[in-house]
Structure 1
């Protein structure tokens, strides 16, 4: 549930009354790993519920911040699979 803040002006000089609702939301932004490459970000959240395309992409995503404590990872069972396509390696 998102709390609603109801605001009514206290100005009695208006010939009508009105009310406005405000929702306290914090803006956020998302980037793909490719778009984030070469940038420095203060805090990073990774959704690893689906597979990362390559090992290099995961490395880039984990190294965008300078500190381990600023990386938040969402993964099923706390792990992500290490998928290697052997037909690509040959």
Structure 2
């Protein structure tokens, strides 16, 4: 098992408020934050920002995404962390909608390697599963505009 001990973003940016936030996160993770008799901890007032919509953190973390999505250095400095993959997929969908171009859907292969092997689970159930590290059954991607233009030119020829 690996654990995170150094917040590299704080270290690289030398941001005092981010450094304090990092220390608070480490205290929580190490179990050093004071708790009440029920085991609940009280977070400091300035620990987080409450947002009114799902779009707000996207707009704060990825401002002008439509203009900056090709800038890998800009993207590398940004991340939204969520506790569940369902939230990640939803946020990724909203970010993808802000990008230029048309979305293409790619489906996973849902056939058995051995046709004679007994199938214990319906295909619909297997397509519904999203184990960590595996793409979803319906993967929506937006090819870069240059690739789309090249494909359109090839189709016209």
TM over 0.5: no
TM range (shorter): under 0.3
TM superposition score normalised by structure 2: 0.16
Q: Which structure carries more helix by proportion?
A: 2
TM superposition score normalised by structure 1: 0.24
Q: Which structure carries more strand by proportion?
A: 1
Greater RCO, CA 8 A, separation 6+: 1
